[in-house]
Structure 1
Amino acid sequence: MKESKIFDVIVVGGSYAGLSAGMAMGRALRNVLIIDSGKPCNIQTPHSHNFLTQDGKTPKEISTLAKQQVEKYNSVKFYSGIATSGIKSKNGFEITTQTNDKFYAKKLIFATGVKDIMPNIKGFAECWGISVIHCPYCHGYEYKNDKTGIFANGDMAFEIGKLINNWTKDLTIFTNGKSTLTKEQILKLQNHNIKIIESVINHLEHKNGQIESVVFEDKTIEKINALYTRLQFEQQCEIPKQLGCELTEQNYINIDFFQKTTEHGIFACGDNTSLMRSVSYAIAMGGVAGAMVNREIIEEEF
């Protein structure tokens, strides 16, 4: 990148939240750099839903159009790569990339998402985002009334079971080992005809990510069309932590109502800050972050 390396704002992460923040700041005439690796966490997801005007579009269609629209704002620049470190500098922050390029800005926005931690079950990762899913509001309608599983145990299994029971009555919980559900929870689940299987899972049978059955260590098989779960995750980017930003007990970046982190001049938006993982919510958070960064610069400079 041969142009200026000094910006008002650097956005790390150029998917939905990052692009939304970039648009807000481009329209506010700010000089912005968006650094993006081009590998969003929903790269396998075939369609996006529950998003007005974009329902049923592929994530790639939405992000491609979004980037084209943001590129119309001449003060917003793009860098293809991975930000690897960040330090506080005299006038703000310095961000270094994997190829040792350095950029400088008064403010930072992290829209870097999270990295899901896959269980050691063959076929699981291949189905993730396609038929092994996390959100019924995003995908539940497409699997309504289908034979559906839940990969969870204990309180989490009970809570997901209550939720998914709204979309299908043909529901089985796979605890993948001894159940930790309470007697009261088991009774309530049984009263709603929700089955519980404690057998250890060996692998998932699927075709191109579309799950067909769960195969257990004891060789038994349970056919299903979809499997819900909530995976453990880690932050995709370690730079906010390097810069002193606090994380919540759930491992999200701690932000306030205006997307501000606990470190002055640093904002965050998208999946790295919230369990509400959806394209529409990420875009909304990005818009707020962009506006609030612009407001903070105005207050400091006016």
Structure 2
Amino acid sequence: MKQNHFDVIIIGGSYSGLSAAMSLGRALRQVLVIDSGLPCNRQTPHSHNFITQDGEKPAVISAKAKLQVEYYNSVQFYSGLATAAVKTQNGFEITTASGKVFSAKKILFSTGVKDLLPAIPGLAECWGISVIHCPYCHGYEVKEQKTAIIANGAMGFEYAKMISNWTKDLRILTNGKSTLASKDIEVLKQHNIQIIENEIDAIEHVKGNIKQIIFKDQSKMEIEAVYFRPPFEQHCSLIESLGCELTEQGLVKVDLMQKTTVSGIFASGDSCIQARSVAMAVSSGSFAGAAINKELIDAEFV
């Protein structure tokens, strides 16, 4: 790759980054997409609730998207990891793990988040397969099945309310002493939602498909699906190193134009939106690309 200066560098080449790259490519912008090839849903067998792609494998969607973006010859790709970023007089410089240095007027982070899974044996192997987080993405496929929610407190109550739309065979695993409010416990009882306080020891599964949950008191529970919302952190630490602010939830703080709190830096996809889905990532990426192009155009008419 001879060129090292671009209008825009997109860090993260999954759904949101590719969507932004298409918008910018169609706007005739010189774009570099840097991607390390580790999307957060790489273990998920099928993607859902994305019209025209419902039920498709995530890797197939991204491969097709990249092929379409490659049609725009002003967009280039670099396979690698961005390891350092600095603000310069004319924009930004990005250094990769291989030592390559690229510069751009604007930066878009489409790097997503990293789920911090607890050290429960079997849980990581089931993540995205039978341990899921979003009923809109995966709920239809496990509808009316024997289901558990790993949650506690107010969030556990709200989560149970939502999931009860997809199955009535439901129980809450608080994985320790319940912190549910007494009034919420009464409501759950009325809806036949059991609260189990036993601590989880392991998840028994076959190729990521849950068979049963084993508790530390050696009791067992047959289960078919588990909903769980783990804590997370930004997948890319460069966002904070450049001074971009995060929200209380740990998401990148952006305005209605996908701008971060640092001039010239934008964010899209899971790194800045709560609704984690392929459709939402694509939407925010497409809009971010247009917003960046508008800012570049405005700078030319000063």
Query: Which bracket does the TM-score occupy, shorter chain normalised?
Result: over 0.9
Output aligned runs, 1:135-150, within 5 Å. Answer: 135-150=134-149
The letter of the residue matching 1:99 is: S
Q: Secondary structure at the match of 2:276?
A: coil
User: Corresponding residue for 1:224?
Assistant: 223
User: C-alpha separation between the residues in 2 aligned to 1:182 and 1:47?
Assistant: 36
Q: Tell me how far 1:262 sits from its aligned partner.
A: 0.7
**Cα distance, 1:156 vs. partner?**
1.2
Aligned-residue offset at 1:169: 0.2
Q: Distance in 1 between matches of 2:252 and 2:237?
A: 11
Q: Which runs of 5+ in 1 are unaligned?
A: none
Aligned length: 301
Separation (CA, whole Å) in 2 of partners of 1:36 and 1:89: 22
Shift of 1:98: 1.0
Shift of 1:76: 0.2
Identity of aligned residues (%): 59
- Counterpart position of 1:300: 299
Q: Which residue is 2:40 aligned to? A: 41
Q: Deviations over 1:12-60 (max 9, x none)?
A: 0000000000000000000000000011000000000011100000100
Shift of 1:100: 1.4
Query: Aligned-pair distance for 1:118?
Result: 0.7
TM-superposition CA deviations, 1:197-229 (whole Å, max 9, x none)? 100110000010011111001111111110001
**SS of equivalent residue, structure 1 residue 105:** strand
Matched, 1:280 2:273: no
Residue 182 (structure 1) shift: 1.0
**Deviation sequence 1:275-295 (CA, Å, 0-9, x none):** 100000000000000000000
Residue in structure 2 matched with residue 211 of structure 1 by the alignment: 210
The equivalent residue for 1:102 is 101
Where 2:270 maps in the other structure, the secondary structure is coil
One-letter amino acid matched to 1:119? P
Distance (whole Å) between structure 2 residues aligned to residue 235 and residue 279 of structure 1 = 17
Distance (Å, rounded) in 2 between the aligned partners of 1:137 and 1:9: 33
Amino acid at match of 1:209: G
State the match for 2:8 in structure 1.
9
CA distance in structure 2 between the partners assigned to 1:77 and 1:3 by the alignment: 11
CA distance in 2, matches of 1:159, 1:11: 36
Structure 1: how far apart are the matches of 2:246 and 2:206? 38
Give the equivalent residue in structure 1 for 2:290: 291
Alignment correspondent of 1:236: 235
Instruction: Please give the TM-score of this superposition, normalised by the length of structure 1.
Output: 0.99
Corresponding position of 2:192: 193
Structure 1 partner of 2:31:
32
Per-residue deviation, 1:99: 1.3
- Gapped runs of 5+ residues in structure 2? none
Query: How does the TM-score come out when normalised to structure 2?
Result: 0.99
Q: How far apart, CA to CA, are the structure 1 residues paired with 2:217 and 2:27?
A: 61
- 2:52 partner SS: coil
**For residues 185 and 235 of structure 1, what CA distance do their matches in structure 2 show?**
32
CA–CA distance in structure 2, aligned partners of residues 25 and 183 of structure 1: 53
Q: State how far apart, in whole Å, the 1-side matches of 2:13 and 2:174 are.
A: 37
User: Would you identify which runs of 4 or more consecutive aligned residues in structure 1 move more than 3 Å?
Assistant: none
Once residues 238 and 117 of structure 1 are traced to their aligned partners in structure 2, the CA distance between those partners, rounded to angstroms, is 15
What is residue 152 of structure 2 aligned with on the other side?
153
Aligned to 1:19: 18
Instruction: Give the letter for the 1:106 counterpart.
Output: K
